[in-house]
Amino acid sequence: MTLTTAAILTLPDFLAHWRGHRALTRRVIEAFPEDQLFAFTPAPPMRPFGQMAVELLFVGEMTLTGLSTGRWPEPDWASGPQDKAALLQGWDALTQRLETEFPGVTAEAFTRTHHLPWGEMPGWVAAIYAVDNEIHHRGQGYVYLRALGTEPPAFYER
Amino acid sequence: MTLTTAAILTLPDFLAHWRGHRALTRRVIEAFPEDQLFAFTPAPPMRPFGQMAVELLFVGEMTLTGLSTGRWPEPDWASGPQDKAALLQGWDALTQRLETEFPGVTAEAFTRTHHLPWGEMPGWVAAIYAVDNEIHHRGQGYVYLRALGTEPPAFYER
pLDDT in tens, B138-151: 999 999 999 999 99
Contact between A135 and B135 under an 8 Å Cβ cutoff? The reply is yes
d(CA A152, CA B139): 15
d(CA B157, CA A32): 30
Statement: residue B3 has pLDDT above 50: no
Mean pLDDT of chain A: 94
Q: Which of A5-14, A62-71, B19-28, B87-96 has the lowest mean pLDDT?
A: A5-14
Subunit contact A10:B3, Cβ cutoff 8 A: yes
- pTM of the full predicted structure? 0.96
What CATH architecture applies to the domain A20-40+49-147?
Answer: Up-down Bundle (1.20)
Give B-chain residues touching A2 at CB under 8 angstroms.
Answer: 12
Helix or strand holding residue B120 (H, E): strand B119-122
* pLDDT classification of B1: cutoffs 50, 70, 90: very low
Give B-chain residues touching A18 at CB under 8 angstroms.
Answer: none
Cis peptide before B12 (omega within 30 of 0): no
User: Would you call B112 helix, strand, or coil by DSSP?
Assistant: coil
* pLDDT classification of B9: cutoffs 50, 70, 90: confident
Tally of CB atoms within 10 A around A40: 16
Q: How far is A128 from chain B (nearest CA, A)?
A: 9
Interface check for B146 against chain A (CB to CB < 8 A): the answer is: yes
| Predicted local confidence at residue A9, as pLDDT | 87
- Per residue in B21-61, pLDDT (tens digit) is 999 999 999 999 999 999 999 999 999 999 999 999 999 99
Instruction: Give me Rg for the CA atoms of chain A.
Output: 16
Interface check for B20 against chain A (CB to CB < 8 A): the answer is: no
| Domains in chain A: boundaries | 20-40+49-147
User: Partners of B119 in the beta sheet?
Assistant: B116
| Predicted local confidence at residue A2, as pLDDT | 43
- List the single best residue of A4, A5, A9 to mutate versus B (max B Cβ within 10 A): A9
